[in-house]
Every structure is written in structure tokens, then in C-alpha cells.
Structure 1
């Protein structure tokens, strides 16, 4: 959905390249500050158990960001003055929260799930997860841009907000938060067993 931001700001508000850069830079810098100042501390205190909470926070932030951008579009259509409302920047903050939390913490969850039972399987799980993510990153812009140009900016971001809210609900209800890191003793024993199995094969 973020891929369409440059279309929006150009079509609705006639942003120059510099203004586009400021908006995208604001998202990037805010995301960096959140990741270094907030996410790092929460993950450190929770020792692997706060990942699900952080992912859920990021998804909610993304939903609110998309809803804010939709409201910005509706406000621009109603007023028609060509100036972005503060909803645009609120949406940018929501995108920054999602960028700082979701992908990083999902990677952590995937790597920790089942680590004590099958430590040698982590690479395959992460590979499968990242491959699925790349498919989403390839198809997402195509879908978002199609909705944007066929149905308009407000509909595009409203559809995005509804979709992410549904995904958030499914994630919170269906995905367990059991990302417990194996103790060093258990991890060493599991790796030793795996090594003996590999030698036997």
C-alpha cells in the first residue's frame, strides 16, 4: 500500500520531488528511531516473548495509518484546496510503526518457533517465510495500484485498512506466542543429537 503514496501526493497535492523525499524520509527516520529506541528495549525485556505483541502493535499501526490516509483523501476531495491535512502525516506515523515492528519481529518469531525441538530446521523455516514475503511484495503493489487507479485513492486505502485489520485479528487469535528460546544446555544437546544423526546418515 505504501507504494501508492507517491501517486497520492502527486495527484492530490502536487508534491515536488523534495516534498516526496521529505515524506518518505520522515517515515524512514521515524521507523529507525522506533526500532532503536522502543522495539529494542521491549524485545530485550521480554526475551523473545514480546514479539507477538510488537507485531500486533505494528499491524494496528498500519491499519490506523491506512485509515488516516483514506481520511486525508476524503478531506482533500471535499475541500479541494490541494493542501494535505494532518491525516497524511498521521498515516505516515502508522506506516513507520509497522515498518519498525512487523517484519523484524515476525522474522524473530519464525526463527524461534520450534527452535528447541528442531534447531537445524530454522534456515528452512526462515527461507520459506522470506520467500512468501517476497511474493507478497511483488503482488501487493500490483493489487494496490490496480485498486488505486480503478476505484480511487480513498477506496484503495479503505480496502487496505479493512484487509490489514482482518489479518491482525487472525494473527492475534490464531498465532501462538510460544516463541520460547531453548536454554543453552538444551540447545547444545539438540545440536549434538543433530550432529550425530548427520554423521550416521
Structure 2
């Protein structure tokens, strides 16, 4: 297994990175939290912009042939001690093999983590040293590796929706409807 960081400005055209982002936002968040097509698309495009502008970091785990196995996306904050995990996923066939832990180690640097765990992922976070801070209204649990998270800020970039985005959301809704039948 290899780990590689997707560099600022290099996201678009990186098929492995695009596949992992689509899997996380397109499939995992619908399954875990019931996110609507609009929410999944909005979060996907926001994350793409954040990575492409260097506000968030993406690290991919790949096999020797370049097949993506997992990813982590972390956003820098104004805190010198905290970074926020936006997304972490390991492809289902490769779970329970230490890939998620290796992604955490690669992303950690000298900062602690703050995240929102889905019900399905909470036990994994706990096994990897995260402490529960509290429950969130959308069904997530706030977790951290820090002694004290405190208040921090981070920049968010989100693209302005266009007619193309509306078209894409409509197409994704049709895919969801097709998959339900």
C-alpha cells in the first residue's frame, strides 16, 4: 500500500481522488446519514474546491497498481493544535486492515484531530484514540484526539451553483430513483 497527498491544483483529472470523493459523498453519506442528493453534491463540490485551493489536504491510500483503497481529507484551522477531519473512508473490501489508521498517522503531523463521526464509524474513532465530546442534531457524534478543542475557525470555499450544477443534481436524482427500484 502506498500513501500520496493530492497536491493543491492537482485534484481535477486525478481519477483515484475523484473516485474516493464520489464514494464518500455519493454513497457513504447517503447511507450513513440519509443526505439528500443536493447536500451530497454541495459537500462534494465544496470539498473539491477546498482541496484544489489548498485549504484542505487529501491523502490517498492506493495499492501498487494505483487502485484507491481509502482517503482522508483534513482542513486546516486557525488553531496551531487542531485540524478538522472532513472525510475519511476505506473501501469496504479493504476495511479492518489498518488502512484507516495509516491514513490518520499520515495526516496527523503535529496537530490533533476534531471530527464528526457517523453512527457506523463511531466505534472506529474510539478504537483510534478519539474521545466523544457530544452528539450532534444530524445524527453525528463530535469526537477529538485533543485534550481541549476550544473554539477554532477555518475558511470555507464553496462554488456558486450554476445551471450545470442544477443539471448534475437532476441527473443524480434520477440515478437515485433508478437505484431504488
Q: Tell me the TM-score normalised to structure 1 length.
A: 0.24
When normalised by structure 2's length, the TM-score is 0.26
Q: Counting strand residues as a fraction of each chain, which structure ranks higher?
A: 2
Greater Rg over alpha carbons, structure: 1
Greater fraction of residues in helix: 1
